[in-house]
Amino acid sequence: MNKIKNIGVFTSGGDSPGMNAAIRAITRTGLHYGINVTGIMRGYEGMIAGEFIPLTRKAVTNIIQRGGTILKTARSEAFMTPEGRKAAYEQLKKNNIDALVAIGGEGSFTGANVFSREYDIPIIGLPGTIDNDLIGTDFTIGYDTAINTVINAVDKIRDTAESHDRLFIVEVMGRDSGLIALRSGIGTGAEGILIPELRTDLDALYKHLEEGPQDQTSKIIIVAEGDEFGSMEVTEMIKERFPHFDIRLSILGHIQRGGKPTAMDRVLASRLGIAAVEALLNGKKNMMVGLINNNIHHTPFHNAIKHLSEADPNLLKVVDILSN
């Protein structure tokens, strides 16, 4: 515990609601234990450039409710090179930073895993991604906010769909993971959910649209952006098969990343922020802190960055029963 005097914290990759709550928790926990906390701007890029700011209690006041990240974020090609990582390490040593907390997703933890092993600097990761696709935690920071953003948007789309007797194809984020589509689809009562984890069965979708309740004039199909066909092609194929349908495509885009974090994300980020600092003080490194069955869990980076490749069969059963 005496070895760590200054913890650096940074956010990396795509932003997610709740990152600021995590920064706040890390800062205040560090100060609680008598440790300095330094904010690293713009992720690994800022680390290489030496863009460091002191994080005080006042600096993190009134940020728990804000979306995005006060430390900014960026993707760094330079950090992927040995020269870039060497420059980053030299900046850390120059500024007397003994340990790091990385808030991000798969790409962030991949970089942290290499960096920690090359320079033996202790790093703990916090799962900050709206995709909820990391192994080692039931939920990632930002996921709950993102799916609630989708649900609110689709509820509004359903209003206009019913007013005009329309079928709406709604594309949500999820290039490699369909977990946003799956849960938000259930939560909005979508008539169809297409995700990259499952082969898209167009015949089954067509049959469902043909045999669905005839008194239901509006329909919603949720499509994850990583679906094998994609929302635009699915829209065109349905138009061709059902020319009598009034069909519209709505791509929600980056509104899913922004907004005030939900209470669930604020509490999750706060718990994990405390756990990250305490993990470093207890000599842990090169791992992610997560929450499994409401308990803090530690997962080595090389395991955490593996994608969840299968959809939850229990959720799929819910879709199968309730979408009929």
Instruction: Assess whether 131 carries a catalytic annotation.
Output: yes
Amino acid sitting at position 1: M
In this model, does residue 320 exceed pLDDT 90?
A: no
Q: What is the pLDDT of residue 1?
A: 46
From the list 42, 58, 57, 34, the residue with the least C-alpha distance to 9 is 42
Q: How far apart are CA 75 and CA 178, in angstroms?
A: 23
Mean pLDDT of the chain: 92
pLDDT at 261: 98
Distance CA 230, CA 261 (A): 28
Q: How confident is the model at residue 176 (pLDDT cuts 50, 70, 90)?
A: confident
For 241-256, give one letter per residue: b (16+ CB within 10 A) or e: eeeeeebebbebeeeb
* Per-residue pLDDT at 163 exceeds 90: no
Mean pLDDT of 199-212: 83
- Burial of 215: CB neighbours in 10 Å, binned 0-12, 13-18, 19+: exposed
Q: What is the per-residue pLDDT for 26?
A: 98
pLDDT of residue 309: 60
For residues 30 and 36, the answer to whether their CB atoms sit within 8 Å is: yes
Residue 2: pLDDT over 80: no
pLDDT at 201: 84
Whether pLDDT at 213 is above 80: no
Percent residues over pLDDT 70 in the chain: 96
The more confidently predicted of residues 218 and 186 is 186
**Active-site residue, from 131, 133, 144, 265:** 131
pLDDT digits (tens, 9 = 90+) for 74-127: 889 999 999 999 999 999 999 999 999 999 999 999 999 999 999 989 999 999
Strands (E), 130-286: 166-172, 192-194, 219-224, 246-251
Q: How far is CA 113 from the centre of its chain?
A: 19
Model's pTM, two decimal places?
0.93
The pLDDT confidence band at residue 202, using thresholds 50, 70 and 90, is confident
pLDDT at 312: 81
Amino acid 204: pLDDT = 86
pLDDT of 156 higher than 70 = yes
Compute the distance between CA of residue 170 and CA of residue 231 in angstroms, rounded to an integer.
Answer: 7
> What's the rounded Cα separation, in Å, for the pair 29 and 44?
23
Q: Which residues contact 133 (CB under 8 A, 6 or more apart)?
A: 105, 106, 140, 176, 177, 179, 307, 308
Q: What is the mean pLDDT of residues 62-79?
A: 95
